Amino acid sequence: ATGPVSQVLAAAAASPRRWAGWVALPLLGGRRQAAMVKETIRVYARVKPLGRRQQAGIYSIDEDEKPLSSLEITVPRDLADGFINNKREMYKFKFQKIFDQEAKQDVVFESIAKPVADCVLAGYNGTILAYGQTGSGKTFTITGGAERYSDRGIIPRTLSYIFDQLQKDSSKVYTTHVSYLEIYNECGYDLLDPRHEASRLEDLPKVTIMEDPDQNIHLKNLSLQQATNEEEALNLLFLGDTNRMIAETPMNEASTRSHCIFTIHISSKEPGSATVRRSKLHLVDLAGSERVAKTGVGGHLLTEAKYINLSLHYLEQVIIALAEKNRSHIPYRNSMMTSVLRDSLGGNCMTTMIATLSLDKRNIDESISTCRFAQRVALIKNEAVLNEEIDPRLMIVQLQKEVQELKDELALVTGKQRTSQLSREELLQLDELIEMFLEDTDPESTLDVGADMRKIKYCFIHVKQLMNHVKTSQNKMQSQHTSEEKDTNKDLGEELKKLKELLQQRDNEINILVNMLKKEKKKAQDALLQLNAASAGSKVLEQSTSLNLEESQSPSSCFSLKEAKEFSCSVHRLPFLSRQTGGKMSLGCQEAFEIFKQEHVDSITIEDNKQLLKQRY
Ligand code: ADP
Ligand code: MG
């Protein structure tokens, strides 16, 4: 996911440059590979020549430490007097290159602006920022001095260079537009208002920021003026500068407290191609970076004092946030300037900053804070992406043309003019062929419809339909089967359940009967024990183990009929015994009989009679 292609896509998606009707689509692979350049913001320093009455500060430039140069600033003894001993007196800052007082505008342009202009011509975004205190040479560097032609600054030189290059390159069609925006007190003004009526900044059209759902910034009311050549572009620059000067006059501080952004928009396209490259170059003259609490040299000199301009404070916050690792939120939205320059700071842009320094003795502290700011900016990494877009309208025209060409080529090869649809006869013929092929049992049989994609596609669709049909009918049958199986399974289950219940019922019954049996058996055993104890001497009863009911019921001298009946009833009251013996008297019955006899009221009399009869016998 971190490959160059995805990075390009991600950067393209995040690009604020997505105009209505245009789709940001970088060309990948194939003819051209969308390129991305990742590099830190280049930071240069330019030292302004001293004025007549200015007293020089002590500084030195060391160019030997390649590839960077370093600037050493020494705090004069008399200024450092107020410091505690361990305070530093010498400061060293590194820059890409340092332009000393005598450096001319052409040299500055060649080293700083030309490489950026080349990138913009190649389709990348570019920004050149001038940062420094008021009077340090920002406007002189960006726009230039009015006195001599050679004092032309970066903007006119860049315009001249760009149009020169565009004229040389006949392989592409270029379109150039310029816009000129002034931001004062969080309000944007269109400096290219052609009415020449503005006498104050407020009379100029107000520019506002609009953010679309993709968080892309759009500037409403900022006019984009087309410039087809250098002269037209320069006229627009003069118009903007005139508006800027007129507007500043009644309000002197506007010149030092406003930001001016001159933007060159370039779009290029190869003839016949649907791909458009769009890039823009911001040339930014920032507000004076001076801070409050400048006096009170001692304690305040090297501490970070507050900016007079609040939006520069927000710019610094953005830069601090960008320099911090793993920082997800960058407070671009805090000011209009940081919103407009969002891409130039940590985004899709090749950015360069020029720190302008006025290194006279009085401005040492401001120069040091300018250098410190520059060091932080130098840490920011930008990812410039080639801004290629595809114009859908052009793409359609191009594709239609290609289709026609291919059709013609095909007709030439086959000798037949083809339509996109197959005829009825052709379809019927194909159906027959497919049927024959499917029915052929020979595993090596083939379906030959010729080199016609329409027919091949039709065959595949037809076979797919057949397959689907077979599948659905199979599914149906399967589902029927399973429903029947389910029914029988259900029946069996219910029967099993019933049988189980029945089994349980029977088990319960058996248990009850077994318990009853056990109880009766115990009763009988108890009775036997009692009997044995009671009639230990009765030999008659001991011997008559097989006495049965019939015998007992038969008339005898010892038993009355009534007694016999009573006995029979008592025996019947013992279901276990009667069932077991089937009417015959068992041991248990005998025991019971014995108990009955013992308990009978006449038992003693009978025993006496027995004894008496025995004696008499
Ligand atoms: P700023 O825009 O930073 O407030 P200016 O660009 O207006 O400062 O410069 C202040 C004055 O210094 C102007 O008169 C300008 O012509 C002069 N100046 C600045 N830089 C240079 C330079 N490198 N060479 C000659 N004159 C300069
Ligand atoms: Mg200025």
Q: pLDDT tens digits for 419-441?
A: 778 888 888 888 888 888 988 88
| Orientation of helix 424-439 relative to helix 453-534, angle to 10° | 40
The CB of 138 under 6 Å from ligand 1? The reply is: yes
**Model confidence at 9: pLDDT above 50:** no
The predicted structure's pLDDT at residue 163: 97
Mean pLDDT, rounded, for 283-295 = 81
**Model confidence at 81: pLDDT above 70:** no
The answer to whether 417 is annotated as binding is no
Residue 115 tokens, joined: 């490489």
Distance from the alpha carbon of residue 41 to the mean position of ligand 1, in angstroms: 24
**Model confidence at 563: pLDDT above 80:** no
Residue nearest to atom 18 of ligand 1 (CA): 137
Mean pLDDT, rounded, for 290-313 = 64
Mean pLDDT, rounded, for 126-138 = 95
Taking the C-alpha atoms of residue 179 and residue 193, their distance in angstroms, rounded to an integer, is 10
Distance from the alpha carbon of residue 205 to the mean position of ligand 2, in angstroms: 22
The answer to whether 472 is annotated as binding is no
**Of the listed ranges 48-57, 300-309, 455-464, the one predicted with least confidence:** 300-309
The CB of 135 under 6 Å from ligand 1? The reply is: yes
**Sequence-separated (6 or more) residues with CB below 8 Å from residue 613:** none
- What does the DSSP assignment read for 214-276? T--EEEET---EE-SSHHHHHHHHHHHHHHHHHHHTTSTTHHHH-EEEEEEEEEEE-TT-SEE
Taking the C-alpha atoms of residue 571 and residue 354, their distance in angstroms, rounded to an integer, is 132
The predicted structure's pLDDT at residue 245: 85
**Model confidence at 464: pLDDT above 60:** yes
Percentage of the chain modeled with pLDDT above 70: 80
b/e burial code for range 162-193 (CB count within 10 A of at least 16 → b):
bbeebeeeeeeebebbbbbbbbbeeebbbbbb
329-384 pLDDT, tens digit each: 999 999 999 999 988 888 889 999 999 999 988 888 899 999 999 999 998 888 88
Mean pLDDT, rounded, for 238-258 = 79
**Of the listed ranges 21-25, 268-272, 586-590, the one predicted with least confidence:** 21-25
**Of the listed ranges 242-256, 292-306, 389-403, the one predicted with least confidence:** 292-306
Distance from the alpha carbon of residue 235 to the mean position of ligand 1, in angstroms: 22
Burial class (CB in 10 A: 0-12, 13-18, 19+), 147: exposed
Residue nearest to atom 10 of ligand 1 (CA): 135
| Confidence grade of residue 18 (pLDDT, cut at 50, 70, 90) | very low
The predicted structure's pLDDT at residue 85: 45
More confident residue, 278 or 415: 278
The predicted structure's pLDDT at residue 23: 31
**Model confidence at 43: pLDDT above 70:** yes
Residue in 492, 447, 485, 450 with CA at minimum distance from that of residue 466 = 447
Q: What is the CA radius of gyration of the chain?
A: 57
The predicted structure's pLDDT at residue 198: 66
Residue in 58, 50, 94 with CA at minimum distance from that of residue 364 = 58
Could you give the 3-state DSSP secondary structure of residue 13?
Answer: helix
CATH classification code of 36-390: 3.40.850.10
The answer to whether 605 is annotated as binding is no
Mean pLDDT, rounded, for 532-541 = 59
The predicted structure's pLDDT at residue 370: 94
The CB of 132 under 6 Å from ligand 1? The reply is: yes
Residue ranges covered by each domain of the chain: 36-390, 393-440
The mean predicted confidence, pLDDT, of the chain is 81
| Confidence grade of residue 478 (pLDDT, cut at 50, 70, 90) | confident
Distances (CA, A) of 362 to 283, 315, 341: 29, 25, 32
Note the ligand closest to the C-alpha atom of 140: 1
The answer to whether 136 is annotated as binding is yes
More confident residue, 222 or 361: 222
More confident residue, 498 or 27: 498
Mean pLDDT, rounded, for 469-477 = 89
| Confidence grade of residue 393 (pLDDT, cut at 50, 70, 90) | confident
Mean pLDDT, rounded, for 91-109 = 95
The CB of 140 under 6 Å from ligand 1? The reply is: yes
The predicted structure's pLDDT at residue 586: 59
196-212 pLDDT, tens digit each: 666 788 888 999 999 88
Ligand 1: residue of 105, 140, 142, 370 to mutate (most ligand atoms within 8 A of CB) is: 140
**Of the listed ranges 19-23, 37-41, 118-122, 414-418, the one predicted with least confidence:** 19-23
The answer to whether 188 is annotated as binding is no
Mean pLDDT, rounded, for 127-136 = 95
| Confidence grade of residue 252 (pLDDT, cut at 50, 70, 90) | low
More confident residue, 153 or 88: 153
Note the ligand closest to the C-alpha atom of 141: 1
More confident residue, 435 or 117: 117
The predicted structure's pLDDT at residue 141: 97
Amino acid at 424: R
Distance of CA 183 to the CA centre of its chain: 36
**Model confidence at 564: pLDDT above 90:** no
The predicted structure's pLDDT at residue 125: 93
**Model confidence at 1: pLDDT above 50:** no
The predicted structure's pLDDT at residue 520: 86
**Model confidence at 545: pLDDT above 50:** no
The CB of 51 under 6 Å from ligand 1? The reply is: no
Percentage of the chain modeled with pLDDT above 90: 35
**Model confidence at 297: pLDDT above 70:** no
**Of the listed ranges 146-155, 342-351, 489-498, 535-544, the one predicted with least confidence:** 535-544
**Model confidence at 82: pLDDT above 60:** no
